[in-house]
Amino acid sequence: MVRVLCAAVAATFAVTAANAQIKIGLTLSLTGPAASLGIPEKNSVDLMPKKIGGLDVTYIILDDASDTTKAVTNTKKLITEDKVDVIVGSTTTPNAMAMIDVVAEGETPNISLGGSARIVDPANPKTRWVFKVSQHDSLMADAVAVHAKAAGLTSMGFIGYNDAYGEGWLVEMKRSATTAGIKMDTIERFNRTDASTTGQVLKLMAANPQAILIVGSGTPAATPHKELVARGYKGRIYQTHGVGNSDFLRVVGKDGNGSFLPAGPMLAYEQLPDSNPIKKVAKEYITQYEAKFGPRTTFGGHAWDSYIVLNKAIPEALKTAKPGTKEFRLALRNALENTKEVVGVHGVFNMSATDHNGLDNRGRTMFMIKDGKWALATK
């Protein structure tokens, strides 16, 4: 009799699970200053399979308009009203930082697409629920410093966003530059919505560092870049992985040629050796993306990597709980934390309790802009 009851319960659970659906909520910057980042992220969601682990998947996409308050509002709605199993986003570091308290309180896993390492700082207990698939600013800052040192540079100026993304990069770049023996004495800031950065550029030009790092994302990062070139700056210009999209290339135009940036290897996957496992994964994704939406972007790739890690973690979570429950969200959090050797388009993910990003040096490559296109960098 007991065996019959157990079998009946198991069968009931199986039927329920089979009829369940997984809800993935996304808050993305589809309008506002970060729209050139958020739109390709949404495009990538359109390519994502509608089933994971044999269950139907519903993607609920909200626009946070590149605004931190709206990102928080969207996050609360996705948790309390839509009752999603996981949240992907937001697009920018300020928005992602603002969401941490909300997802922690709602005990809902969050896969961030922002750039700062502080988003998943293990010293903050609230980040227990937060994961991140974009490369850390610390990882990329090291790449810039190593590249600059190899070129014999000993001084670097800095102009970055006056927000959490810019401040995070400033901290990490100072650390990396010091290690590399590079002085960073001239620091300037600008806003995402600034139409001009003339004052800041003049100060940088007066200091005349051998290189200048511009810390921005998308098209706004082209503003100081073009002004530096227009005023005759002859040193080396570095950008961050925040400009890895075709809109930046379009806006910066020929002024971008000869500049450098660290980015995920997907940006020029064709130039990777066949032995690199990232090449195959990137080719499959980019072939789909470019056939439907046009030129690739690193930001679309981050969104796709969120699917790749979820596609691995969700089946593991389903072994212990069903979607739509607190138990499933916890199981999914645990499964994400145990991500091992999962190959994405930006790198290979190996997460742990103290590392909710999991990317290593395989997730960064130095690029240069050559004839208006991305190319593997030379020294």
- Per-residue pLDDT tens for 299-341? 999 999 999 999 999 999 999 999 999 999 999 999 999 999 9
**19: confidence class by pLDDT, cuts 50, 70, 90:** very low
Residue corresponding to tokens 């709980």: 321
Give me the pLDDT at residue 13, please. Answer: 47
Least confident range of 10-24, 29-43, 45-59, 277-291: 10-24
**271: confidence class by pLDDT, cuts 50, 70, 90:** confident
> What contacts 91, CB < 8 A, 6 or more positions away?
28, 29, 34, 37, 38, 41, 64, 66, 113, 114, 299
- Closest C-alpha to 228, from 246, 211, 250, 249: 211
DSSP code of 64? -
- The answer on pLDDT for 219 being more than 50 is yes
Tell me what the mean pLDDT of segment 5-29 comes to: 65
Give me the pLDDT at residue 6, please. Answer: 45
- The answer on pLDDT for 12 being more than 50 is no
Domain extents in the chain: 2-135+281-361, 137-263
Give me the pLDDT at residue 215, please. Answer: 96
Tell me what the mean pLDDT of segment 115-126 comes to: 94
**Segment 284-299, tens digit of pLDDT:** 999 999 999 999 999 9
Tell me what the mean pLDDT of segment 265-287 comes to: 94
Give me the pLDDT at residue 356, please. Answer: 98
DSSP code of 135? P
- Between helix 277-293 and helix 35-47 the angle, nearest 10°, is 100
Sheet of 365-370: strands edge to edge? 187-190, 156-161, 211-215, 236-239, 260-263, 365-370, 373-376
Predicted TM-score (pTM) of the model is 0.88
- The answer on pLDDT for 18 being more than 70 is no
Tell me what the mean pLDDT of segment 128-146 comes to: 96
- Beta strand 130-132 pairing with 110-112: parallel
Give me the pLDDT at residue 10, please. Answer: 46
- Closest C-alpha to 355, from 184, 89, 133: 133
- Beta strand 365-370 pairing with 260-263: antiparallel
- The answer on pLDDT for 9 being more than 90 is no
372: Cα within 13 Å, side-chain hemisphere: 8
**Whole-number Å distance between alpha carbons of 262 and 249:** 15
Tell me what the mean pLDDT of segment 174-201 comes to: 96
**Whole-number Å distance between alpha carbons of 120 and 116:** 8
DSSP code of 241? G
**172 near 137, Cβ under 8 Å?**
yes
**Segment 47-93, tens digit of pLDDT:** 999 999 999 999 999 999 999 999 999 999 999 999 999 999 999 99
Distances (CA, A) of 269 to 175, 277, 282: 30, 10, 7
| Higher-scoring residue by pLDDT: 230, 12 | 230
Q: How many CB atoms are located within 10 Å of the residue 247 CB?
A: 18
Percent of the chain residues past pLDDT 90, beyond the cut: 89
**Whole-number Å distance between alpha carbons of 286 and 267:** 9
Give me the pLDDT at residue 122, please. Answer: 95
CATH superfamily of 2-135+281-361: Response regulator (3.40.50.2300)
Q: Matching CATH topology for 2-135+281-361 and 137-263?
A: yes
- The answer on pLDDT for 8 being more than 80 is no
**20: confidence class by pLDDT, cuts 50, 70, 90:** confident
**301 near 266, Cβ under 8 Å?**
yes
Backbone angles phi, psi at 253, to 5 degrees: 60, -145
Give me the pLDDT at residue 43, please. Answer: 98
Give me the pLDDT at residue 144, please. Answer: 97
- Closest C-alpha to 306, from 20, 23, 26: 26
**212 near 237, Cβ under 8 Å?**
yes
Residue corresponding to tokens 């700082």: 121
Q: Three-class SS of residue 211?
A: strand
CATH superfamily of 137-263: Response regulator (3.40.50.2300)
Q: How many CB atoms are located within 10 Å of the residue 70 CB?
A: 20
**Whole-number Å distance between alpha carbons of 352 and 1:** 44
